[in-house]
A = this chain, B = another copy of it.
């Protein structure tokens, strides 16, 4: 590794002394930590532009003083215990500006102020997490994925490793995604309408940035997907909660807001989060008619559409009428694995350039390697059998969790939501307030997902508490155990 030292060739202080001081101060000051390997004297001399003998002499003096040690055959290292560290403390250069940790005077932007909040501490790993939206990554065909990658890495490196000009995503991947969506979701689109993003998160983020100013409103399901709400409100926009019942968002309630500039309406029509219901066809038509009339855009987050266990999937809103005012969002994070960071938007043709521009400015492009492997995975037909297999796994996990809860809670638990997806909503008839129930579950070792966003008083009934259960990433054994723990926490 190179070592940068601040040498001044016209200083009255000899280069030897400057190098010696730089190394010693770096060791005493903690820049070069105990055990750090220093460069070979020849390499350091070359990179500093001095003779090798100068460096060798510095090293020898530092060795004799107990700062450095040589290990036979492996090089020169910073000693693990330093000689009388205190003695040298005063030789550390004094700060020009000595006040410690002076707060930065720099003002954040309006956006910076809106998002500046302490980051939640990590959740300890020993908890059984029923609040994690991850899929079952243990079942993911890692060997196959790795094989596809190894094969591609043996080819001409430029298409995989060099800058591309395909900022909205690889053409091959956009063709494969368009085909998949046309077939399985009745989405009507040309590959040019597809923008590949780093997960559906980034798709939501771009939609918010491109359409929302602080004077605008966003309508969204209540209860709904909290994180989408945070993205919209970080733009300064106002959230309008629209109630949800067993047919999905109550679209008729949108008309109450005709006095406001509703720019976007966010829906999860395939499997509403958190209620787990599908948006009915008549409401889809109403929503389209309302959007056409008011000039709003529908943000269709086609969350969980692939997993329905005993009903047929409804086709997308996007494909129901020509030129639908819809931004359609999907992701491979839940279908394959979350750290893949590949999702997509299908946008009306008028918005292709502005979304491509947003991607280009934000992070240039998504990984070409990941896009290539995903394309191979799709076009070689690996997705369908994998989803079929996982549909059975998830159906079984859902059944095990529902049965376990019913065994312990009997009529005191009600499960809401379709036989679908990777979560359901459960209502417990217990004499606990929601925060207390949550804390008790936590103390028992189970972390639940709360339904507290946005205002959702209509789901609160005295003597009832509700939580979302996400089960896809948990084994059947863990799910049985979680239900037991919850029974002890809520009923004792």
Contacts and interface: CB of A to CB of B under 8 A. Distances in A.
A73 interface: no
Contacts of A337: 157, 161-162
A142 interface: yes
Interface string A377-397: 000000110010000000000
Nearest to A38: B183
Given A340-B367, A363-B202, A367-B370, A111 B47 contact: no
A199 interface: yes
A224 interface: no
Interface residues of A, number: 138
Given A49-B312, A163-B134, A183-B36, A367 B353 contact: no
A348 B104 contact: yes
Nearest to A159: B339
A6 B112 contact: no
Given A5-B186, A310-B49, A315-B5, A339 B202 contact: no
B296 A106 contact: yes
Nearest to A112: B210
A358 to B, nearest CB: 6
Contacts of A321: 95-97
Contacts of A212: 109
A279 interface: no
A311 interface: yes
A361 B202 CA distance: 8
A99 B351 CA distance: 18
A115 B351 CA distance: 11
A205 interface: yes
A259 interface: no
Given A339-B368, A353-B117, A354-B116, A363 B6 contact: no
A48 B363 CA distance: 41
B338 A102 contact: no
A268 interface: no
Interface stretch (A54-62, A145-153, A483-491): A145-153
Interface in A65-124: 95-112, 115-119, 122-123
A180 interface: yes
**Chain B CB within 10 Å, residue with most, of A103, A109, A387:** A109
Contacts of A14: none
A1 B183 contact: yes
B349 A101 contact: yes
A159 to B, nearest CB: 9
A238 interface: no
A262 to B, nearest CB: 11
A263 to B, nearest CB: 7
Given A137-B157, A163-B132, A3 B102 contact: no
Q: Which 5 A-B pairs have the closest CB atoms?
A: A161-B337, A339-B368, A198-B363, A137-B161, A112-B210
10 contacts: A2-B306, A3-B183, A4-B315, A32-B183, A106-B297, A108-B211, A112-B209, A116-B353, A119-B356, A140-B157
